[in-house]
Amino acid sequence: MTYASVWMAEAVAGLARAPDPAAADREAAWMDTMLRRDPRSMGESRSGADRVWYGDVIGIYFRVDDAAMTVRVLLAGPARRR
């Protein structure tokens, strides 16, 4: 089964803060694909259905809703300090 992936406006805006926005967009697209396939396997669990996942360029904070088959990316930003 495939989950729907929704990137909240604040998360999309956070991608622009990465040192290389083009690389952040590419990594976000890859993360989005993985989240649609198996979101519970991505990143580390946090409180309840919340998870955090750090890639090479960006990190995301997301919530999985298994009943609705939806993943909401709540926050995104650079994974490393400048």
**pLDDT tens string 66-76:** 999 999 999 99
The answer regarding whether domain 4-78 maps to CATH 2.40.110.10 reads no
The model carries a pTM of: 0.92
Candidates 62, 54, 63, 42; CA nearest to 81 is 54
Candidates 35, 37, 13; CA nearest to 25 is 13
Give the Cα separation of 76 and 55 in Å (integer): 11
Say yes or no to pLDDT of 81 above 70: no
Half-sphere CA count of 22, side-chain side, radius 13 A: 0
The CA radius of gyration of the chain, in Å to the nearest whole number, is: 12
